[in-house]
Amino acid sequence: MTTLSHLECSLCQKRFEAGIAHNLCECGGPLLVRYHLDKARENWNREWLGRAPATMWRYAPVLPVSRPEKIVSLGEGYTPLVRTRRLGARLGADQLWVKDEGLNPTGSFKARGLSCAVSMAAELGLTKLAIPSAGNAASAMAAYAAAAGIEAHIFMPRDVPSSNYIECKAFGAKVTLVDGLISDCAKIVNDRKQEEGWFDVSTLKEPYRIEGKKTMGYEVAEQFQWQLPGVIFYPTGGGVGLIGMWKAFEEMETLGWITAKRPKMIAVQVEGCQPVVRAFEQGTPRSEFWQNAHTVASGLRVPKPLGDFLVLNAVRDSGGCAIAVSDEELLDAGIQLAAEEGMFVAPEGAACIAALEKLLASGFLKPDEKIVIYNTGSGLKYLEAYSTRFPRVSGGEQDKLGGLITPR
């Protein structure tokens, strides 16, 4: 089972004991979970994964839950890695894959993080969880909290996709809509949690969501027979998936499962909210709050990621870059991908395809590189965004094939 050792501040390295609930370090740094990887190396063989469950819990020795009966699982992770030849041929990328996280419970990779966080909440005896969310994290938390029989208090922007709102309500969560952004939601949770007795499950303020998300890194290695790809595109909001994968690579190297070679990490953002891209271009270690953040890719509408420095470090150390695309470009890319490959992806995943096109055109990437794009969610969760491209009928399409026909 788990080889959990302790938690460690990512800023000041202060050590925190496992087995009790933690949020941030006093210095404001997010906590990272550490394992006895030496023990794991001796007692766990990657060949055994053949018999492990077909969920992210196949990597249980490097996940934090100590009592397996506390695991709250709805079948998250172990998602397909799809070779997209047609898309690759059109863009000039000879070896292109899409890791399809849209197949997770609640239709996004947030299921990985919340499966882990809610399992730990159950193990630590927490009974009231609160989360500020741009949308999909709320859906995932509501689902796992329902499965665990724990209260979920959700704060999300009032213009969140209706899939997220309806899912949360259906899962029985207490939902409050906020006339603002995720940053405003976070402030409300922070101001009220003490009085209400909520545990704050905000991105990176809660240390175990990142552990769930890091399994995306273990999986891509396993699916490629322990040879990492050359390039990874990741749609970056809070950046937790990217930070998590980077952590997974380090752990796997310590386990002796992979070499020191790392993929170029490409952080993809949108023109309407690109704090990480701006910081990358200006060479600063941290980002600045992005004013008036707006985009249809709601998961990327994070004006000031708490873990910006961790994202920027990983991107820089990997020789990758940060790049933004417009909402027009990402919707075009999403629709083209759907028609070419039969995959209907979230706008966030589509943003990566638009970014790939740019980086091939600029020569930053070469046609023969092995490239993986993370599609973090299903297009079905974003019907409002995509429906702007497909109005049901317009006047001239009455009584025409491909338009609207009235049977006589």
Ligand X SMILES: *Cc1c(COP(=O)(O)O)cnc(C)c1O
Give contact residues for ligand X (rule: CB under 6 A).
108, 110, 136-137, 203, 235-241, 299, 346, 348, 376-377
| Residue 131 Cβ vs Zn ion, minimum distance, rounded to whole Å | 23
Do the Cβ atoms of 177 and 160 come closer than 8 Å? Answer: yes
Residue 237 partner contact from ligand X, Zn ion, none using kind-dependent CB cut-offs of 5 to 8 Å: ligand X
- Which residue minimizes CB distance to ligand X? 299
User: Angle at CA 184, nearest 5°, toward 375 and 306?
Assistant: 55
Residue partners of 365: CB distance under 8 A and separation at least 6: 93, 231, 264, 356, 359, 371
**Stretch in the footprint of Zn ion (CB under 5 A) among 10-18, 100-108, 142-150, 292-300:** 10-18
Residue 376 partner contact from Zn ion, ligand X, none using kind-dependent CB cut-offs of 5 to 8 Å: ligand X
Do the Cβ atoms of 41 and 62 come closer than 8 Å? Answer: no
The single residue among 3, 29, 141, 348 that binds Zn ion, judged by CB under 5 A, is: 29
Do the Cβ atoms of 106 and 135 come closer than 8 Å? Answer: no
| Closer CB to Zn ion, 32 or 182, in the complex | 32
- The number of beta carbons lying within 10 Å of the beta carbon of residue 295 is 24
Q: Which of 230, 225, 221, 224 is nearest to 250 (CA)?
A: 221
Residue 217 partner contact from ligand X, Zn ion, none using kind-dependent CB cut-offs of 5 to 8 Å: none
Distance CA 57, CA 398 (A): 52
Residue 108 partner contact from Zn ion, ligand X, none using kind-dependent CB cut-offs of 5 to 8 Å: ligand X
Distance CA 82, CA 347 (A): 18
| Residue 392 Cβ vs ligand X, minimum distance, rounded to whole Å | 25
Cα–Cα distances in angstroms (integers) from residue 12 to residues 34, 127, 246, in the given order: 15, 30, 19
Residue 377 partner contact from ligand X, Zn ion, none using kind-dependent CB cut-offs of 5 to 8 Å: ligand X
| Closer CB to ligand X, 146 or 245, in the complex | 245
Residue partners of 275: CB distance under 8 A and separation at least 6: 269, 287, 288, 289, 290, 302, 303, 304, 305, 308
| Residue 307 Cβ vs Zn ion, minimum distance, rounded to whole Å | 13
* Residue type at 242 in one-letter notation: L
Is 32 near Zn ion (CB under 5 A)?
A: no
At 279, list the tokens. 């910081």
* Strand blocks (E) in 254-307: 264-270
Is 12 near Zn ion (CB under 5 A)?
A: yes
Is 9 near Zn ion (CB under 5 A)?
A: yes
Strand order in the sheet with 4-9: 15-17, 4-9, 31-35
| Closer CB to ligand X, 229 or 334, in the complex | 334
| Residue 313 Cβ vs Zn ion, minimum distance, rounded to whole Å | 16
Is 21 near Zn ion (CB under 5 A)?
A: no
Distance CA 312, CA 265 (A): 10
Distance CA 257, CA 272 (A): 39
| Residue 47 Cβ vs ligand X, minimum distance, rounded to whole Å | 30
| Residue 382 Cβ vs ligand X, minimum distance, rounded to whole Å | 9
| Closer CB to Zn ion, 11 or 82, in the complex | 11
Name the β-bridge partners of 234: 267
At 344, list the tokens. 């209907």
| Closer CB to ligand X, 132 or 239, in the complex | 239
| Residue 62 Cβ vs ligand X, minimum distance, rounded to whole Å | 19
Query: How many chain residues bind Zn ion (CB under 5 A)?
Result: 7
| Closer CB to Zn ion, 9 or 134, in the complex | 9
Provide the phi-psi class of 28: left if phi over 0, else alpha when psi is between -120 and 50, else beta.
left
Is 124 near Zn ion (CB under 5 A)?
A: no
| Residue 348 Cβ vs ligand X, minimum distance, rounded to whole Å | 3
Residue 239 partner contact from Zn ion, ligand X, none using kind-dependent CB cut-offs of 5 to 8 Å: ligand X
| Closer CB to Zn ion, 29 or 237, in the complex | 29
Q: Which of 36, 84, 62 is nearest to 211 (CA)?
A: 62
The single residue among 15, 19, 21, 27 that binds Zn ion, judged by CB under 5 A, is: 27
| Residue 148 Cβ vs Zn ion, minimum distance, rounded to whole Å | 29
CA 124 to chain centre: 24
**Stretch in the footprint of Zn ion (CB under 5 A) among 27-35, 44-52, 171-179, 282-290:** 27-35
| Closer CB to Zn ion, 161 or 207, in the complex | 207
Chain contacts with Zn ion (rule: CB under 5 A): 9, 11-12, 14, 25, 27, 29
